[in-house]
Amino acid sequence: MKKALFVDCCLRPGSNTRKLAEAFIDNLSKEYKVKHLKLEDENLKPLVGEWFYSRQEILDTTSERTHPRFDYAHEFAEADLIVIAAPFWDLSFPALLKIYIENVSIDGVTFTTGEEGLKGLCKANNLVYLTTRGGFYNDSPMESALPQLRNLSEFFGIQNFHSIGVDGMNVEGYDAEASLNEAIKEASELAQTF
């Protein structure tokens, strides 16, 4: 059985991004056991003050990465497929996803540093990023979420990055529903390739 980790950063009831993600997940092969990690329900804290210093101390004083604070990182590193769903907020993704990424980025678990530089340690070969946006940002240099997640995929050693971004969800007069339905079809087809 393969493991898919569904990192769900959809924060609105009736989220369009989650509809896209569910279409993807529903069409994944039954070979995958899917872990639905709903970030909203996790007790994620940003790395500030004592929460930051205590982690530094654990990292500096132990070489084994067995502390429960590294559980998110192990789960991420061991997944065969990563699916991230997050709406487009303030030209990027919600802060909650960044906080999750802080928890996952652990030297010795998801990446390592050596004489040859950085090396990703994650098992997954594919990271799928799904998003919906209020305006039109496809191919815009102002779209700051997609390049960041693509870079992180490489950082974690996940070779293939896939993304589906649906634009125009809040543009008056634009057929957002048709656009979303088309993307849902695309997401379903993409899932069937894994």
Cβ of residue 194: shortest distance to ligand FMN, in angstroms? 23
User: In whole angstroms, how far apart are CA 80 and each of 91, 106, 124?
Assistant: 29, 18, 4
Contact positions vs ligand FMN (CB under 6 A): 10, 12, 15-18, 87-91, 132-135, 137, 169-170
Closer CB to ligand FMN, 152 or 169, in the complex: 169
Taking CA atoms, 1 is separated from 80, 105, 126, in Å, by 10, 25, 16
Closer residue to ligand FMN (CB): 108 or 134: 134
The minimum distance between CB 35 and ligand FMN, in angstroms, equals 20
Closer residue to ligand FMN (CB): 31 or 182: 182
Angle at 34 between CA 29 and CA 35, to 5 degrees: 170
We find the least distance from the C-beta atom of residue 145 to ligand FMN, in angstroms, to be 9
Cα-based distances in Å from 30 to 4, 9, 81, 192:
11, 23, 13, 10
Which residue, 140 or 160, has its beta carbon nearer to ligand FMN?
140
Using the minimum distance from each CB to ligand FMN, give the nearer residue, 73 or 166.
Answer: 166
**At its nearest, how many Å lie between ligand FMN and the CB of residue 181?**
14
d(CA 46, CA 31): 35
> What is the nearest approach in angstroms of ligand FMN to the Cβ of residue 132?
4
CB of 70 to ligand FMN, least distance (A): 29
Tokens of 8: 């769900």
Contact assessment for residue 106 and residue 78, using Cβ atoms and an 8 Å cutoff: no
CB atoms inside a 10 Å sphere around CB 143: 19
Residue 3: enclosing H or E segment and its boundaries? strand 2-8
Which of residues 108 and 135 has its CB atom nearest to ligand FMN in the complex? 135
- In the bound state, the residue with its beta carbon closest to ligand FMN is 134
Exposed (0-12), middle (13-18) or buried (19+): which is 131, by Cβ within 10 Å? buried
